[in-house]
Amino acid sequence: MEKSGNKKIVMSGIRSTGFLHLGNYFGAIRNYVRMQDEYECYFMVADLHSLTTHPETKELKINVHRVLAENIACGLDPNQAALYCQSHVPETSELYLLLNMLAYKGELEKTTTFKDKVRLHPNNVNAGLLTYPVLQTADILLHRASLVPVGKDQEQHLEMARNFVNRFNHRYGEIFPEPYAFNFGEDLIKVPGLDGTGKMSKSENQYATIYLSDDDELIRRKIMKAKTDSGPTPTNTEKPDYIENLFLLMFLVSEKNTIEKFEADFNNCTIRYGDMKKQLAEDMVKFVSPIRERAESIRNDEQFLKRIMEQGAEKARKSAGATMELVRQAMGLNY
Ligand code: ADP
């Protein structure tokens, strides 16, 4: 059941675990910015999700402020979309608890992101980590959202969210629409790391990741260090992964004719990877530096960020409150 009114509802979030990077931008934020005019949008800083892997909270405030500032610097308008902090909407925890009764241990243990995190943090396999997809589902369902702009790594979580929705609706009545991962126009995106393996990420893989706060020199250095080889033979051969990844990055930030030139050079075996990386580095600097500069000017304005968060939370709580009324009614928690 969608909310009244014609606009579809959009919800997504980014964890406050460090510096935002190109993966966050192209997987998520670019879509947020494009969607904000057309849809009813809720975007949040997922501070509670951060606690599953980052129990130390000394850096939390600065990270929350950074994520907010970087979202705004990328073009998000807090007067259009509700931009808020997850813990400022306490209904989140109530719905999370109720949905936990519909989530089975077996399916949670099979989640790819859970298995990855267990490998990375073997000494902190906490229940919050296990139930991460349930909390994420609560975030989405609180607004009865049907579109969730996210990167490819989140596809399985959305599939689980649909399972939880169907179980809830089947048992208690049709309250929620099925949420789907969304990316404008194309398939969901995975921005690869510069080392040819894995994806760009906030907290792992730091030299292989380009952050929106990297200065020009650091961006150039990271790209020039990316793995290449002595060049393709024979003509029109398949690209190895690490070269494919460089083209993928070029596809995100460079002009069409630049990409076509290097594609042609690759196919007729005349490509010079040094030249390609120099071009990619310059295009990347041109893309990242205005965002970095805007974010720097916002990040330290605590008053402004606080006001944005309060305004966003007020909107989000209103939507969450209405949903929780329906949930309590449907479940018979209304005595
Ligand atoms: P991270 O994995 O860097 O900690 P989050 O888990 O907070 O980031 O994810 C925030 C959003 O950014 C999600 O929508 C996620 O799908 C997207 N995202 C993160 N890394 C990438 C990537 N390398 N490529 C595409 N999207 C990504």
The pLDDT value recorded for residue 195 is 85
Buried/exposed 98-120: b ≥16 CB within 10 Å, e otherwise: bbbebbeeeebeebeebeebeee
Quick one: pLDDT band at residue 3, thresholds 50, 70, 90? Answer: low
Residue percentage of the chain with pLDDT more than 90 = 90
| pLDDT at residue 222 greater than cutoff 90 | yes
50 lines ligand 1 (CB under 6 A): no
Cβ(13) – ligand 1 distance below 6 Å:
no
Q: Domains in the chain, ordered, with CATH?
A: 9-189+302-331 (3.40.50.620), 214-295 (1.10.240.10)
List, for residues 283-316, the tens digit of each pLDDT value: 999 999 999 999 999 999 999 999 999 999 999 9
Give the integer Cα–Cα distance in Å for 49 and 140: 13
To the query of whether residue 110 is one of the catalytic residues in this protein, the response is: no
Per-residue pLDDT reduced to its tens digit, 229-250: 999 888 888 999 999 999 999 9
Percent of the chain predicted with pLDDT > 70: 98
Region of residue 227 (left: phi > 0; alpha: psi -120 to 50; beta: else): beta
* Rounded average pLDDT over 21-43: 96
SS (H, E, C) 171-224: HHCCCCCCCEEECCCCCCCCCECCCCCCECCCCCCHHHCCECCCCHHHHHHHHH
Reply yes or no on whether 199 is catalytic: yes
pLDDT score of 282: 98
Cα distance from N-terminal residue to C-terminal residue, the chain: 24
Q: Is 150 in the pocket of ligand 1 (CB under 6 A)?
A: yes
| pLDDT tens profile 246-260 | 999 999 999 999 999
Cα(153) to ligand 1 centroid in Å equals 7
205 pLDDT band, cuts 50/70/90, is confident
Quote the pLDDT of residue 196. Answer: 78
pLDDT reading at 54 higher than 60: yes
Per-residue pLDDT band at 6 (split at 50, 70, 90): confident
How remote is the CA of residue 189 from the centroid of ligand 1, in Å? 10
